A and B are shown apart, each in its own frame.
Chain A
Amino acid sequence: SYELTQPLSVSVALGQTARITCGGNNIGSKNVHWYQQKPGQAPVLVIYRDTNRPSGIPERFSGSNSGNTATLTITRAQAGDEADYYCQAWDSQHEVFGGGTKLAVL
């Protein structure tokens, strides 16, 4: 079965750039979506179809996808960006989520 691999945790200094990766076999050929989840809340879509931001999501959030790695980039990181982030893709009639990355803003 298809797997998406994310780092367990990523740390970023306040105001700096965080990059969260999502690895999968030939993931560049798939549509990848990213979700932010804060404690006790439902997930929120922050990037869809690799690079698109839903309305209301700051421009600081961006995505890319090529080869075997998709990346969520958060520029000018803020304390409010601390959350778990999940990537998602479709493969062989199954949706797959990555294991999630906890982002710490220091």
Chain B
Amino acid sequence: QVQLVESGGGVVQPGRSLRLSCAASGFTFSYYGMYWVRQAPGKGLEWVAGISYDGSNKYYADSVKGRFTISRDNSNNTLYLQMNSLRAEDTAVFYCARENGVGDLFFWGQGTLVTVSS
């Protein structure tokens, strides 16, 4: 069965960096685009970034462009999100999700919490 397991969250000071990982299993990872979606405490879903199946195309929300970088390692079935210059407003649960061609997110991980605080 499809499994997506995020890791790398934690407490970080403003201005510092953090890298999230998403380990995928149960499907051919290199066939699918992948997304990061976040949810601030008590708030709605916010799309963060997306990457095509082969890593050739990457897309970012305006709120993170220039600070966050999405990448993938198809040989290790892992998705990444490098987050630099973190701000308090980046505090959220970050989910990775598998998309099915037109942004339809059939499978989600359980999420990893990132807290940006001094």
Contacts and interface: CB of A to CB of B under 8 A. Distances in A.
A60 B113 CA distance: 33
B102 A95 contact: no
Interface residues of A, number: 25
A45 B104 contact: yes
A2 B110 CA distance: 28
A37 B45 CA distance: 10
A99 B59 contact: no
Interface string B97-118: 0001011111011110000000
Contact of B103 (A37, A54, A95, A99): A95
Chain A: interface secondary structure? strand
A97 B45 contact: yes
Interface stretch (A13-21, A71-79, A86-94): A86-94
Contacts of B105: 33, 35, 43, 45, 88
B45 A1 contact: no
Contacts of A94: 47, 59, 61-62
A42 B95 contact: yes
B109 A97 contact: no
Given A1-B62, A42-B111, A43-B108, A90 B102 contact: yes
A96 interface: yes
B80 to A, nearest CB: 18
B44 interface: yes
A50 to B, nearest CB: 10
B89 interface: no
Interface in A17-59: 31, 33, 35, 37, 42-45, 48-49, 54
Contacts of B106: 45, 48, 54
A100 B45 contact: yes
A42 B106 CA distance: 11
B47 to A, nearest CB: 4
Given A42-B108, A42-B109, 4 more contacts: A43-B37, A88-B103, A96-B47, A97-B44
